[in-house]
Amino acid sequence: MSSDTLTKLPAAPGTSGPADVPRIVPQRRYGQWAAAVVVLALLALAVTSVLRNEAFQWDVVAAYFTTDSVLRGLWLTLWLTAVVMALGFALGTLLAAARLSANPVLRGVSWGYVWLFRSIPILVQLLLWFNIGALYPTVLGVKTVDLLGPVTVAIIGLTLHEAAYAAEVVRGGILSVDRGQIEAAQALGLSRWRRWRRIVLPQAMRAIVPPAGNMLIGTLKGTSIVSVIAVNDLLFSVQLVYHRTYQVIPLLMVATVWYTVVTSVLSVGQHYLEKRYARGAERTR
Amino acid sequence: MSVMVDIRSVHKSFGPLDVLKGIDLQVRTGEVTVVLGPSGSGKSTLLRTINHLEKVDRGAISVDGALIGYRRSGDKLHELPEREVLKQRTRIGFVFQNFNLFPHLTVLENVIEAPVAALKRPRDQAVATARRLLERVGLADKADAYPRQLSGGQQQRVAIARALALEPKLLLFDEPTSALDPELVGEVLDVIKDLAHQGTTMIVVTHEIGFAREVADTVVFMDDGRIVEQGPPAEVLDRPRHERTRAFLSKVL
pLDDT tens readout for residues B132-185: 999 999 999 999 999 999 999 999 999 999 999 999 999 999 999 999 998 999
> Which residues of A lie inside 8 Å of B (Cβ-Cβ)?
178, 180-181, 183-192, 194, 198-199, 202-203, 277, 279-285
B208 min Cα distance to partner chain A (Å): 23
Q: How many H helices and E strands in chain B?
A: 9, 12
ipTM greater than cut 0.85: yes
Q: pLDDT (tens digit, 9 = 90+) per residue, A245-258?
A: 999 999 999 999 99
Closest C-alpha to B161, from B125, B112, B195, B111: B111
Nearest CA in chain B to A184: B100
Q: Are strands B58-63 and B66-67 parallel, antiparallel or unpaired?
A: antiparallel
Closest C-alpha to A232, from A83, A86, A84, A68: A68
According to CATH, what is the number of the domain A75-231? 1.10.3720.10
Is the CB of residue A136 less than 8 Å from the CB of residue A179? no
> Is B130 a member of any domain?
yes
B173 touches chain A (CB under 8 A): no
Domain of residue B118, residue span: 97-167
Do the chains contact at B104 and A202, CB–CB below 8 Å?
A: yes
Q: How many H helices and E strands in chain A?
A: 13, 2
B236 min Cα distance to partner chain A (Å): 31
Q: Where are the alpha helices (DSSP H) in chain B?
A: 43-50, 82-89, 107-117, 123-136, 152-164, 182-197, 209-215, 233-238, 243-252
In whole numbers, what is the pLDDT of chain A averaged over residues? 89
Q: Are strands B92-95 and B70-73 parallel, antiparallel or unpaired?
A: unpaired
d(CA A91, CA A89): 5
**Backbone region of residue B97 per phi and psi (left: phi > 0; alpha: psi in -120 to 50; beta: other values):** alpha
Of B89, B106, B147, the CB nearest to A189: B89
pLDDT band at B212 (very low <50, low <70, confident <90, very high): very high
> Is B39 a member of any domain?
no
Q: pLDDT (tens digit, 9 = 90+) per residue, A195-204?
A: 999 999 999 9
**Number of structural domains chain B divides into:** 1
d(CA B87, CA B120): 12
> Is B46 a member of any domain?
no
> Is B180 a member of any domain?
no
Q: For chain B, what is the radius of gyration of the CA atoms?
A: 18
> Is B145 a member of any domain?
yes
Q: What single-letter amino acid sits at A203?
A: Q
> Is B235 a member of any domain?
no
> Is B30 a member of any domain?
no
pLDDT band at B253 (very low <50, low <70, confident <90, very high): confident
The answer, as to whether pTM is greater than 0.95, is no
Mean pLDDT of A134-162: 87
> Is B241 a member of any domain?
no
Is the CB of residue A233 less than 8 Å from the CB of residue A70? no
Q: Are strands B66-67 and B17-28 parallel, antiparallel or unpaired?
A: unpaired
Cα–Cα distances (Å) from A270 to A82, A210, A278, B43, B182, in that order, read 15, 7, 12, 46, 42
